[in-house]
Structure 1
Amino acid sequence: MSWKSVGIGAGVGALFGGPIGALIGAGVGGWFSASKDKYIRQVETEQLFVFTALFGMLAKIAKADGVVCPEEAKTIKAFMDQIHLDQRSKEIAGSIFSKAKDDRYSIYDYATQYATAFNNNKDMRIIAYRILFEVAASDGELHPEEDKILQGIIEPLAIDPSMYKLFSAEFFGRTHALSEHYALLDCTVESTDAEIKSAYRKKCIEYHPDKIMSKGLPDSFITFADEQMKMITCAYDEIKKARPGLS
């Protein structure tokens, strides 16, 4: 995933506005491809938006306690490797990170724009939330300011509050209730077996690699879709244990 300069940063910044637009307008737009193909440019615009939003939020959570610690930096570098960024893309990510961690915007500003872009895709909002949790947990403890952000960002990201407990369990070994497993499938304890099975199958389709690619996202984000799918499968398995008739 990489972008080559064509000098359209100001135009992109004007298009997006807010913190993401400010970063793009400040220089990130210069990493676009020179392709004149409208479809390619549209896909790259979407990818650039996601890229900037994610690393902008990562910068804010990493510096929530006043300093980016070595463990957090290591986790973010590992994240870059995990999504298979080439060297140029890592430089872009580093530039976004450096600018965002000290800019005048809050993580909630970035989250609001990100959520607006994915207003019809709750799963991408959850994936972003999980990445923030991973960085916060990288040093083995949850700083009060990090915890405040992880709880406060739920509303601007427009995700279910149960996600906080689910990821707390994943990264800090905290237990969570069966109701949270239902929430991950967009169901409740009152849902029928048929409704739960249907919801699970729908999630499987949503996280299929072809589905992720059709959304114009980088291939590397399939990694995070896979992680989310593991959580969904785990939730379904736990619900099945509580419902002997559900296969």
Structure 2
Amino acid sequence: MFRILGAIVGFFMLGFLGIFLGYLVGSFIDRFKALGPSGMNPFNTTRRQSVFLETAFVLMGKLAKADGRVSETEVSHVEQFMQKLGMTPEHRLKAIALFKQGAAVDYDIHPKMNEFLAICGHSNNLKQMLLVYLIIMGLSDGHLNSDEEGLLHVIAGRLGYSHAAFNQLLDMVLNQMHFAGGQSTSASALDDAYKALGVSKDSTDQEIKHAYRKLMSQYHPDKLMGQGVPEEMIAVATEQAKEVQTAYDLIKKSRE
């Protein structure tokens, strides 16, 4: 609509050249209006949320079965995860079906990964949050075995992560989890805090603050929801943000 109006106004103001310029300006306005108030097409957002959720539960199933069997701890973790998400009975049944689908012996993850990359692959945050959820799932029994870690490396590779980049993310999430529920009281708490932020004791205050702000931005609820993380899954990101905050507070206190 605006492209036509732009062309008409452009003609009266600048003649035939104005038609072209007015049409271009109108096209930009039409595109912006189509995106909605948040700058994102709501239908595309719904699609992203659906694909993100489906991919997460399918890959959780695949990860749980990576060592040949789905343990009771892993089943319990998924049940707690669904409980935390506050899923409706209908969505819960769908999530369980997706988990079982991924846990099937002959299930091939690559078609689902292709779909995820096509719909969500434009966002580094969505790719990272998917990996974070899967790492938390893999660590639900306290450690990653070689099969689970191998599968995570395959998934990370499909998402564009190098071996080193994924290992750094894995180390950060592992150490962030040490601060679940509050400040860690272990002897290595300060070392864990630096690792949770992806920095070291040699990092400057400015570098540490930058790493902290970057992580808090990545876990920000509004940003994640705007990019396509389902609302139900924001609770997990919020917990990670609290752990990052606790780790950062510990580092700041140690440097006073």
Same fold (TM over 0.5): yes
Paired position in structure 1 for 2:232: 220
Check whether the contact 1:54–1:128 (CA below 8 A) recurs between aligned residues: yes
The equivalences for 1:78-117 within 5 A come to 78-102=80-104, 104-107=106-109, 110=112, 114=116, 117=119
The counterpart of 1:145, out of the listed 139, 144, 147, is 147
Amino acid at match of 1:46: R
Paired position in structure 2 for 1:180: 195
Higher helix share: 2
Larger radius of gyration: 2
User: What's the TM-score, normalizing by structure 1?
Assistant: 0.64
C-alpha deviation, 1:96, in angstroms: 1.8
Corresponding pairs, count:
203
Paired position in structure 2 for 1:51: 53
SS of equivalent to 1:155: helix
Check whether the contact 2:58–2:99 (CA below 8 A) recurs between aligned residues: yes
Amino acid at match of 2:66: A
Residues 171-224 of structure 1 show CA distances to partners (whole Å, capped at 9, x for unaligned) of 699x766763453xxx67776533442443344344333223322432222212
Q: CA RMSD in A?
A: 3.6
Please give the alpha-carbon distance, in whole angstroms, between the structure 1 residues aligned to 2:247 and 2:229.
26
Q: Which runs of 5+ in 1 are unaligned?
A: 1-37
Paired position in structure 2 for 1:33: none
- Amino-acid identity (%): 27
Higher relative contact order (CA 8 A, sep 6+): 2
1:107–1:235 distance in 2 versus 1, CA, 3 Å: farther
C-alpha deviation, 1:146, in angstroms: 1.8
Please give the alpha-carbon distance, in whole angstroms, between the structure 2 residues aligned to 1:52 and 1:119.
15
1:151–1:231 distance in 2 versus 1, CA, 3 Å: farther
C-alpha deviation, 1:120, in angstroms: 5.2
Amino acid at match of 2:78: I
Q: Which runs of 5+ in 2 are unaligned?
A: 1-39, 179-185
The counterpart of 2:220, out of the listed 208, 227, 232, is 208
The counterpart of 2:77, out of the listed 75, 78, 81, is 75
Please give the alpha-carbon distance, in whole angstroms, between the structure 1 residues aligned to 2:214 and 2:137.
29
